[in-house]
């Protein structure tokens, strides 16, 4: 089985590969409290976190686990359309008695990896996840799980550990809203991921065991025909999850008026205190409400541009100028409440007292840190806006002045002066004594 490097969607690849452009915006409070235990809402255009609730709390992800399952399968099956995979009886038997969601695979049924990925993401098939894991690792599903954990570490996840590829309950199977955002952000760069996860339904072709059949998404946020008032026309994908211990979970995105967001909502109540099932999907209501709030109350604002002069500093050793202008190394935009002026964003600089020529345009001189409402948004480098040559004459004069006024020079000069004075005094005394001796000798000779 050949491995492949994914052919990435350009837009989402840029989002993932340019973390230097990302910022953490101040988290703003909507006028409602989400019922989900762990929530994060991220603006994908800037990677600004605009809302979070217990975003680093370890929670069971249920079937949102399958986002990572998709990643490992898609990166290790080179031909998704052409690779045919047979579901083994012993693999399907692992789900006996679990009552879990499946795409209704049968023993020895053969279908393409692409069809299995559709069943994985649209119908949340636990059977699809096991069959894919079994195929990728030649029967060793534990190895597949280890690959999931390794990938999580590579993506910077701090509080994630998988024990299976489907998300059924296990106390050692957990993640956080923030980690799941990182995982999903990466998955969005993989081929077919967003296309598959945004489909409301899909017709599986006939196989050696079954006729054609239609599978329908478990995500009511994108299915206007589903029960409940969950449908949101701007939502796309991605994955649901639910079991009693995890509660209701949802990872989704929404795009409107040029803005794009991802919401991860984990642990909405699915059973009450008596163990009775709760039919209301709080995770979907939370996600929809957060999207509506973000699109209506928040907007992108440019805080500083590369062309903006941020400040100036005294300049040494230049013949014809005594200051140098500093600009931001890169543009910085972030999400702010619609009614907030950019003047409300505070800037604190970290700069030297002065700059010495020569200076090249673009040289990093210091930094500027921007904050709003007491929370740091980002730090950008401040660079020289122009190149300035050094005057060698001024530089040499300064060196001489520094040498002459230095403590060591003064001490040495003082010591030499004392020694010189002592030498002169001794020389005078010696000459006087010598003259006196000559007079005494002359007298004796008479």
Give catalytic residues, as residue numbers: 63, 66, 124
Give the Å distances, CA to CA, from 39 to 59, 222, 282.
11, 19, 12
From CA 56, how far away is CA 189, in angstroms rounded? 24
Dmax (CA) for the chain in angstroms is 150
Strands 309-316 and 298-304: unpaired
The secondary structure element, H or E, covering residue 444 is helix 407-445
Task: Identify the CA nearest to 122 among candidates 230, 192, 186, 201.
Answer: 201
Retrieve residue 48's tokens.
Answer: 């600004």
Strands 375-384 and 364-372: antiparallel
Map tokens 């639910």 to a residue.
242
Enumerate the β-bridge partners of residue 327: 309, 383
Which long-range CB contacts under 8 A does 418-426 form with residues at least 24 apart? none
From CA 299, how far away is CA 329, in angstroms rounded? 23
Provide the 3-class DSSP secondary structure of residue 72. helix
Provide the 3-class DSSP secondary structure of residue 67. helix
Task: Identify the CA nearest to 329 among candidates 15, 4, 21, 16.
Answer: 21
Helices 177-187/66-76 angle, 10° precision: 30
Provide the 3-class DSSP secondary structure of residue 302. strand
Q: Where are the alpha helices (DSSP H) in 99-236?
A: 113-121, 126-136, 141-154, 177-187, 193-197
Burial class (CB in 10 A: 0-12, 13-18, 19+), 363: middle
Report CA torsion sign: 66, 70, 72, 77.
positive
Enumerate the β-bridge partners of residue 312: 325
Provide the 3-class DSSP secondary structure of residue 94. helix
Q: Is the distance from CB of 137 to CB of 72 less than 8 angstroms?
A: no
In the 8-state DSSP scheme, what is residue 342?
Answer: G
How crowded is residue 174: how many other Cβ atoms within 10 Å of its Cβ?
19
């Amino acid at each position: 089985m050949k491995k492949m490097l994914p052919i990435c969607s350009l837009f989402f690849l840029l989002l993932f590969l340019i973390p230097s452009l990302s910022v953490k915006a101040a988290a703003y409070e909507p006028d409602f409290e989400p019922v989900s235990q762990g929530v994060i809402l991220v603006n994908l255009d800037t990677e600004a976190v605009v809302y979070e609730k217990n975003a680093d709390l370890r929670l069971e992800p249920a079937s949102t686990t399958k986002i990572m399952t998709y990643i490992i399968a898609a990166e290790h099956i080179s031909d998704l359309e052409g690779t045919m995979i047979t579901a083994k009886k012993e693999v399907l038997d692992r789900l006996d008695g679990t009552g879990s969601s499946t795409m209704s695979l049968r023993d020895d049924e053969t279908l393409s990896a692409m069809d299995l990925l559709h069943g994985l993401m649209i119908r949340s098939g636990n059977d699809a996840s096991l069959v894919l894991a079994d195929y990728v690792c030649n029967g060793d599903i534990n190895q597949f799980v280890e690959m999931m954990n390794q990938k999580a570490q590579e993506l910077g996840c701090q509080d994630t550990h998988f024990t299976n590829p489907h998300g059924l309950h296990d106390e050692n199977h957990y993640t956080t809203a923030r980690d799941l955002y990182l995982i999903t952000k990466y998955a969005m760069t993989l081929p077919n991921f967003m296309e598959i996860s945004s489909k409301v339904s899909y017709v599986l072709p006939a196989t050696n065991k079954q006729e054609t059949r239609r599978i329908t998404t478990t995500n009511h946020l994108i299915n206007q025909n589903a029960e409940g008032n969950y449908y949101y026309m701007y939502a796309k994908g991605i994955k649901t999850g639910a079991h009693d211990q995890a509660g209701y979970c949802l990872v989704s995105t929404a795009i409107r008026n040029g803005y794009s967001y991802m919401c991860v909502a984990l642990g909405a109540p699915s059973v009450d205190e008596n163990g009775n099932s709760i039919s209301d999907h709080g995770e979907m209501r939370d996600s929809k409400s957060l999207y509506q709030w973000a699109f209506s109350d928040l907007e992108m604002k440019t805080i500083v541009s590369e062309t903006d002069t941020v400040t100036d500093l005294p300049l040494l050793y230049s013949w014809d100028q005594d200051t140098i202008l500093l600009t931001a190394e890169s543009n910085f935009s972030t999400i702010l409440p619609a009614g907030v002026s950019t003047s409300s964003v505070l800037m604190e600089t970290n700069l030297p007292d002065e700059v010495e020529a020569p200076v090249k345009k673009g040289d990093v001189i210091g930094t500027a840190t921007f904050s709003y409402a007491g929370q740091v948004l980002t730090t950008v480098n401040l660079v020289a806006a122009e190149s300035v040559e050094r005057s060698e004459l001024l530089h040499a004069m300064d060196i001489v002045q520094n040498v002459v006024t230095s403590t060591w020079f003064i001490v040495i000069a003082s010591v030499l002066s004392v020694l010189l004075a002592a030498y002169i005094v001794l020389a005078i005394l010696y000459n006087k004594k010598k003259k006196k001796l000559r007079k005494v000798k002359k007298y004796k000779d008479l």
